[in-house]
Amino acid sequence: MDALLTVAEYEAAARDRLPAGIWDYIAGGSGQERTLAANLDAFARLALRPRCLVDVSRPDLSTELLGVRLRTPVGVAPVAYHRLVHPEGEVATARAAGFLVVSAFASRTLEEIAAAAAGPLWLQLYWFRRREVVAGLVRRAEAAGYRALVLTVDTPRVGRRLREARRGFAIPAGIVAANVDAAVMARTHEAVDGESALVRHSREQLDPSLGPADLAWLCAQTDLPVLVKGVLTAEDAELALAHGAAGVVVSNHGGRQLDGAVASVDALAEVAAAVAGRGPVLLDGGVRTGTDVLRALALGASAVLVGRPALWGLAVDGEPGARAVLDVIAAELEDAMVLSGRPRLSDVDPSLLARP
């Protein structure tokens, strides 16, 4: 195999290796997949204004997030069921990642992942109708040393994933959400033609009444910082902070929820302005290169998360593959910082971007 030099090359290699149904579950978006495409296009439209005559002999990619020093500002987004692409699942990803947000639907236990992790872990939560599932996950995350919680608020139900529906996608029997009661998850394994098992499951198990008071309740349950994921507007950023959130993740769920929603990088400046330094603002959706990371930081992100790229690396070569994908992005980021005359992340600001 030739060396893979870009995230796009890992994507192509993963596609060659994965069964079509699993590929489509991971790759797909909702509806016409307009938001899925927009996430990538929006980055491509943001041209950079490099500065020269700057001493770039010692680039520094490190940053601090919630009091923890990170080698790079790039973490792994919460993505369900890593074992769909590699038998070691999240344990391999955790060894590779500088920083990982573990999905509520992880296919390895929170404790196994914590024992393997190379960097800080956060736990993502869905708002299960059975609130004891949420509370139980919070207690286990605290006990296992997770450093923050991420409440996903863009999923009162799972979006219309047509690729999944066409294939009657269900989670294969051997792969389970290892941290949630089997009874809650049972129907994710039932394949029905013309229907996504995950859409059906979400309607049964996720509580669409989630509101600001529930966020406040969650924040009161724990000393861990709670970030709110799925924010695309200043209004929701304001609401989240007013009800106890420590920060937000600007995200449209990788184009998998509301089709037609704004590209996440296009929502970033508005949200960052609303948060105004009161907490971290992360971004995910369409980050595929080091220059994408730089663009997001220029628009006010504290750090970015990659979703699908981590799974592509994991599918291609397990832990070393996931690490290689993150290393490609870090190497590209370093290049871009040097070539744009911004040797430290604190030098990155909106002046890096050309006006559209």
Ligand X SMILES: Cc1cc2nc3c(=O)[nH]c(=O)nc-3n(C[C@H](O)[C@H](O)[C@H](O)COP(=O)(O)O)c2cc1C
Closest contact distance (angstroms) between CB of 57 and ligand COI is 43
Q: 132: Cβ–Cβ under 8 A, 6 or more apart, which residues?
A: none
CA distances (Å), 249 to each of 24, 140, 241, 262, 267, in order?
25, 22, 12, 14, 11
Say whether residue 306 binds ligand X (CB under 6 A).
Answer: yes
Using the rule CB under 6 A, is 313 a contact of ligand X? no
User: At its nearest, how many Å lie between ligand X and the CB of residue 251?
Assistant: 4
Annotated active-site residue 253? The verdict is yes
- Is residue 163 close enough to count as binding ligand X by CB under 6 A? no
Query: Is the CB of residue 151 less than 8 Å from the CB of residue 191?
Result: no
78 counts as binding ligand X under rule CB under 6 A:
yes
Name the minimum Å distance from CB 169 to ligand COI: 10
Q: How many residues at the interface with ligand X, by CB under 6 A? A: 24
* Size, binding site for ligand COI by CB under 6 A: 7
Which CB, 158 or 224, lies closer to ligand COI?
158
Please give the sequence-ordered ranges of beta strands (E in DSSP) within 233-288, or none if there are none.
Answer: 247-250, 281-284
Q: What is the DSSP letter of 192?
A: B
Cβ closest to ligand X, residue 77 vs residue 299: 77
Q: Which residues contact 43 (CB under 8 A, 6 or more apart)?
A: 265, 286, 287, 288, 289, 292, 295
202 interface partner picked from ligand X, ligand COI, none, CB below 5 to 8 A per type: ligand COI
Residue 167 in contact with ligand X, rule: CB under 6 A: no
- Please name which of 228, 227, 232, 234 lies closest in space to residue 254, comparing C-alpha atoms: 232
For residues 232 to 261, the per-residue mask of contacts with ligand COI, x marking binding by CB under 6 A and - elsewhere, is: ---------------------x--x-----
Query: Please, which of residues 38-57 interact with ligand X by CB under 6 A?
Result: 39
Q: Which stretch binds ligand X (CB under 6 A): 71-79, 167-175, 207-215, 320-328?
A: 71-79
From the candidates 82, 86, 201, 253, which is the catalytic residue? 253
What is the DSSP annotation of 27-65? Answer: H--STT-HHHHHHHHHHHT--B----S---SS-B--EEE
Q: Which member of 105, 128, 169, 312 binds ligand COI (CB under 6 A)?
A: 105
User: Which pairs count as long-range contacts for 20-24, CB under 8 Å and 24+ apart, including other chains?
Assistant: 20/167, 21/167, 21/169, 22/84, 22/85, 24/163, 24/164, 24/167, 24/169
List contacts with ligand X (CB under 6 A).
Answer: 25-26, 39, 77-80, 103-105, 124, 152, 229, 251, 253-254, 256, 284-287, 306-308
Catalytic residues: 253
